[in-house]
Amino acid sequence: MSERMPPGRESHTVLLRGGEVHSPADPFATAMVTEGGSIAWIGSEGAADSFADGVDETVDLDGALVTPTFTDAHVHITATGLALTGLDLTGSPSLRDALARIRDYATARPVDRVLLGHGWDATRWPEQRHPTRAELDEATGGRPLYLSRTDVHSALVTTALLDLVPGIAQLPGFADGEPLTRDAHHAVRNVAHGTLTPERRAEAQRAALDHAASLGIGDLHECAGPDISSEDDFTALLALAANADGPRVHGYWAEPVSSAQDAARIRALGAFGAAGDLFADGSLGSHTAHLTAPYADAEHTGTSYLDAGAVAAHVAACTEAGLQAGFHAIGDAAVTAVTDGVRAAAEQVGTERVRAARHRVEHAEMLTEKTVAAFAEFALTASVQPAFDAAWGGADGMYAVRLGAERAATLNPYAALQRAGVPLAFGSDSPVTPLDPWGTIRAAAFHRTPGHRISVRGGFTAHTRGGKRAVGIDDAGVLVPGAPADYALWHTGDLIVQTPDSRVANWSTDPRSGTPGLPDLTPGTQLPVCLRTVVGGRSVYERPNE
């Protein structure tokens, strides 16, 4: 592989040849020419000879696959970086192991004012319980600790951290001995993250962006807001990403909009929209997703943060201001509140204006035929995370524990959304689940509920072009002449056209159909390895030679 394109050489031309180029312009292409930040030509190896003498650089692909870069449509970048560089309990197999990791981390970080950690999930542990506050106090030596659950909707803390938050016991979501949720959780998180120095925050952000680039990700949708992070964190991230070679960051700031002044303030932050995690409810794992019927393992229906009236006001104001709106909605009651609110807004400002705004819903796990139809009617983008099903689906997974097997089997119905024509954009919600584009597509194609599966090709489109379209960019996410030179090179096995089952027409798997192939993502097979990531014609990642 060749070296990075020198900065400032916008007309630098590159010929890539001798590989497999995934392009609808030529399903059998083996070569591609880029000029500066755009794709100039795609075609066959024989035709590539005519370009060889006129380009600045030639790359011998040596059989590598070339694809458009991925877009992760839902990320929390600073939190992802903190997990990558700090205390991450995501892979912890037991309560005992988690406490040992906390002790080791506390010992290794003696100067941190507040210890920050993430990723515990007691449903995966044989003890089937979370650490007590006394156990955490002992493991940290009495120091402040903030430890978010894997879904980031609740947290465990030490006594020393509680002491830093006056009045915490009076806030909604505080229950002695239980994980903190709602306002109590937000209060302790604000205090804990407020102790980050600008240097530590930048370190975490760079780590997350570098990691994304190493996975062939060229664009990230940062889902921020006052209940998630600070304005300083958000603006610093956007500035860092804009001034470095790496993935692009499209920022969302999840704050209600009721006027043109509100919209102008959100734009002034650099936000693309007032969307992302504007919470209509919480999460299933923390028992805060809003349901129409009680949880199977709790005698309540979760938490509603926004009703249909509040949704309608936000969508109408954003539509009038030309700003994209969006909501975090997981439970069936929350998703219904969102779709009812969007319908009310459409009656006020007009259906076509609402459709044109490309408003979005994050997660959208518990859908019904009625809400799927509403997504299609109002062109709501479903920004979804297939890795949730891989992590929590199945007869014995967290979904079944929280909801019972029958309700759990209705979650994340990607095939129904696709059939209805709902725009799909795939993401990870990192650090809730890891940045892992090919693993995400695998999770959608091999969904634990077979009826919800979509083809690898459909998942690939949702993770490339779908994420671009979600931010209003229609000429990207695909390798065709004139599109941006955003591409990744992959070491992979044979390319195939992989469908979920025999319900898919046979013609699409026949080589004579001209359908471009993709890697075999059957569970158990090795996922493709990224060799290089290029964004806007600039190389932002090169795999080290082994």
269-291 confidence digits (pLDDT tens): 999 999 999 999 999 999 999 99
Q: What is the pTM of this model?
A: 0.90
Q: What is the mean pLDDT of the chain?
A: 93
pLDDT tens figures, 439-464 = 999 999 999 999 999 999 999 999 99
Query: Is residue 42 classed as helix, strand or coil in its secondary structure?
Result: strand
Question: Would you state the pLDDT for residue 8?
Answer: 46
At residue 502, the pLDDT reads 53
Interhelix angle 260-268/308-321, nearest 10 degrees: 70
**Looking at residue 463, what is its pLDDT?**
98
**pLDDT at site 112:** 87
Topology classification of domain 13-68+478-492+528-542: Urease, subunit C; domain 1 (2.30.40)
DSSP secondary-structure letter at 180?
Answer: B
pLDDT recorded at residue 436? 98
SS3 at position 117? strand
How does residue 10 score in pLDDT terms, banded at 50, 70 and 90?
Answer: low
Spatial CB neighbours of 463, under 8 Å, sequence gap ≥ 6: 70, 71, 72, 425, 426, 437, 440, 441
Beta strand ranges found along 340-445 (DSSP E): 360-363, 381-384, 424-426
Q: Do domains 79-193 and 206-470 have the same CATH topology?
A: no
The structure tokens 């609808």 sit at 24
Is residue 36 within 8 Å of 537, Cβ to Cβ?
A: yes
Task: Name residue 34's amino acid.
Answer: T
Query: Could you tell me the residue ranges of all domains in the chain?
Result: 13-68+478-492+528-542, 79-193, 206-470
What long-range pairs does 103-108 form, CB within 8 A, spacing at least 24?
Answer: 103/139, 103/140, 106/139, 106/140, 106/141, 106/143, 106/145
**Across 409-432, average pLDDT:** 97
Cβ proximity of 211 and 70 under 8 Å: no
If one counts every other C-beta atom within 10 angstroms of the C-beta of residue 526, the result is 11
The pLDDT assigned to 503 comes to: 47
Average pLDDT of the residues in 504-515: 48
Calculate mean pLDDT across residues 5-27: 82
CA distance 288 to 450: 27
How many C-alpha atoms does 144 have within 13 Å on its Cβ side? 17
Whole-angstrom Cα distance, residue 470 to residue 221? 10
* Residue 353 CB neighbour total at 10 angstroms: 15
Q: How far apart are CA 406 and CA 505, in angstroms?
A: 29
Residue with tokens 């002790």: 103
Q: Tell me which H or E stretch contains 532.
A: strand 529-535
Rg (CA), the chain: 23
- Give the separation between CA 291 and CA 335, rounded to whole angstroms: 9
Give me the pLDDT at residue 372, please. 98
Q: How is domain 79-193 classified at the architecture level of CATH?
A: Roll (3.10)
pLDDT digits (tens, 9 = 90+) for 301-337: 999 999 999 999 999 999 999 999 999 999 999 999 9
Q: What are the tens digits of pLDDT across the range 59-101? A: 999 999 999 999 999 999 999 999 898 898 988 999 999 999 9
Residue-level pLDDT at 3: 37
With beta carbons less than 8 A apart as the criterion, state whether 484 and 476 touch: yes
What pLDDT sits at residue 11? 81
206-470: CATH class? alpha beta
* Contact predicate 389/448, CB 8 Å: yes
